[in-house]
Chain A
């Protein structure tokens, strides 16, 4: 096995460099075939996303992959070399596992990367450039990524403000189906949060704005109802979730109003999200029973805590990956030496039979017993000769970077390459 990987990511290269080395989806097949045409390359795969470009190949070294990147994208080597990282064998597996498990992502734990790797693998399969090596590494990487996802909380919590709002709404209401959301004022973030909520099952949307026409526009986008701003107090108690983002200099919803609303709602809980600066909702509203108020800083705090928790979970994920890499590596290695052992045994067996054929006649007529004794003698010699190289090979299976030694053993015994 000679797996090598060369790539660059948001961690090592600015976007101007990343975009120069990116592969268009449509060109991927040709690029893969061109790489597979290089000498020694038996398998190849290319991952190209907006955050990273990585080229994985079996049967060659990093140097050749760098050459391929330069020639394919027609860029001089010294303009990109500083941004590239390269891995071999054991480290390739570790890197691939980490990337697939989203530990190397810009937002650790984001789920898209696994899908992108799966797409890249499929593209390589379609181009016919995958084989047993890349195939088994990738399949294992998918399993490990899934394991990390289920055994750690790395991707469990929201890390953007609008998703944090949805997450909180779920903490309060559980299922959002059948709930109503009201948007007061119109801002990009308010609409984004409402969009996420709607996608999570919220049934109806009410929109109100000082400019009624604007409310009508937004309401149309959500298939909701527009409410005149001066009628806000009459309708707000129908909303389970209120997202407020007006430009008003004073509070739109005061504690007194909130108390009145919650009485009208017979204490059914209510979630206020205040993303306006200056704030629209009096902070004391949070003190009303069954009312939960989050302003923009509160949401940010939730996001920060979630990110902090992701980091702790990432440390646990690294431990899982360490174990998985070692287990997978030693399995790959032992699989790697088995063909060599079989080749050795076969080559010497052929030799033995040839020699018996050639010199057997010199011994004259042999009885069945003598023939058998000759067989035993020669077999035993071969076994003794092979004993030490085979146990050495098995020992090597457990160590990284033993390929040159394996090659040397093959060479000494003159075993043909498979």
Chain B
């Protein structure tokens, strides 16, 4: 990680964080344009930091555990910007910007904590397939998570019939639902392919589809949650509150598999 660029990106993201806090407290979007510009600028710095990274960018998450947080943050910001371009929902930023800031902050604080080379056992061409697919798929998840949170808030506001303050700024219920579902519909196939490529990789290197570490278990759990979500929506018309709760549970699993990767050990841990 280019440390200066990352620091600049972090400071720019912090404007996004301030915007979120101000918006929730005052229910006014005074800072939105400024923070949107700041996050765009921050994202450019961030992307440059990743691109300038010594060595091959794709391998970095394996050699530096904290870099994966940086990746996830950059992808979450990208996911938001794409969603914003499509839906023009300002309020989504209130939920995504703090996540972006927090992930970057973790990456920044812990950048020296663990650095190692890729274990020889798993260094192979598969890494160039597995990692990009998984990360791109995960970029859609924070957006889906934020969409679900907004859905639950809006639903609560409509049912309880109190719609003042911040509730007024939330997008329509169907838009939240659509956002949460569509981002998932984009992310899910990528994650599926990512998991399949991981299994094939494990088969090629280790002779088994099933790497026995917790990241794999949590990823599969996440995958099943999202599969259930998409399947029941398509077949049984499951939508609304239950779908939102499931999407939130899925995202918590994603975070757990990321956070836990370093502690659980196994092939996805970043310490030798």
Contact B238 A174 (CB under 8 A): no
Interface 1/0s, chain A 297-327, versus B by CB < 8 A?
A: 0100110010011000000000000000000
B237 lies within 8 A of A173 (CB): no
Give the residues from 366 to 383 in chain A that come closer than 8 angstroms, CB to CB, to chain B.
none
**Contact partner of A290 among B164, B171, B236, B240, CB < 8 A?**
B240
Whether A292 sits at the interface, judged by CB under 8 Å, is: yes
B242 touches A289 (CB 8 A): yes
The answer to whether A289 touches B241, judged by C-beta atoms less than 8 angstroms apart, is: yes
* 0/1 string, A145-170, CB within 8 A of B gives 1: 00000000100110000000000101
Q: Complex Cα distance A173/B154, Å?
A: 12
Q: Which residues of A are found within 8 Å of B240, using beta-carbon distances?
A: 267, 269, 289-290
Would you call B238 and A153 a contact (CB within 8 A)?
no
- Shortest beta-carbon contacts, A-B, top 8: A266-B237, A174-B172, A174-B175, A267-B237, A290-B240, A172-B173, A267-B239, A174-B174
User: B112 within 8 Å of A by Cβ?
Assistant: no
Are B168 and A294 in touch, CB under 8 angstroms?
no
Contact of A172 among B164, B174, B236, B242 (CB under 8 A): B174
Q: Which A residues are CB-close (under 8 A) to B86?
A: none
Is A171 a contact partner of B161 (Cβ separation < 8 A)? no
In the complex, what residues of A have CB within 8 A of residue B172's CB?
170-175
Instruction: Tell me the complex Cα distance, A27–B237, Å.
Output: 64
Report the bound CA distance from A265 to B236 in whole Å. Answer: 10
CB distance A298 to B168 under 8 Å?
no
Contact partner, B171, options A174, A269, A301, Cβ 8 Å? A174
Q: B28: nearest residue on chain A (CB-CB)?
A: A153
Would B158 and A172 count as touching, CB distance under 8 A?
Answer: yes
Q: How many A-B residue pairs have CB under 8 A?
A: 57
The CA of A168 and the CA of B240, in the complex, are separated in Å by 17
CA distance A298 to B160 in the complex (A): 10
Decide if A345 is an interface residue (CB 8 Å cutoff).
Answer: no
Instruction: Say yes or no: is A286 at the interface (Cβ < 8 Å to chain B).
Output: yes
In the bound complex, what is the Cα–Cα distance between A76 and B171 (angstroms)? 57
Of B159, B162, B172, B236, chain A has the most CB atoms within 10 Å of the CB of: B172
Query: Considering the chains assembled together, what is the distance between the CA atoms of A266 and B164 in angstroms?
Result: 30
Query: With a CB–CB cut-off of 8 A, which chain B residues contact A266?
Result: 236-237, 239
Extra inter-chain contacts (9) besides given A173-B173, A174-B171, A267-B237, CB under 8 Å: A153-B168, A157-B168, A170-B172, A173-B174, A174-B175, A267-B240, A290-B240, A290-B241, A301-B161
Report the separation of the CA atoms of residues A156 and B163 in the bound assembly, to the nearest whole angstrom: 13
A171→B173 contact, CB < 8 A:
yes
- State whether A290 touches B163 (Cβ < 8 A): no
Q: Which of B168, B175, B236 contacts A156 (CB 8 A)?
A: B168
Q: CB distance B163 to A302 under 8 Å?
A: yes
**Nearest CB in chain B: distance from A22 CB, A:** 37
Q: Nearest Cβ in chain A — how far from B82, in angstroms? A: 19
**What are the residues of chain B within 8 A of A175 when measuring CB–CB?**
172
Chain B residues closer than 8 Å to A173, beta-carbon distance? 172-174
Contacts of B174 in A (CB 8 A): 172-174, 269
- Which chain A residues (159-216) contact chain B, with CB distance < 8 Å? 168, 170-175
CB B215 to nearest CB in A, in angstroms, measures: 34
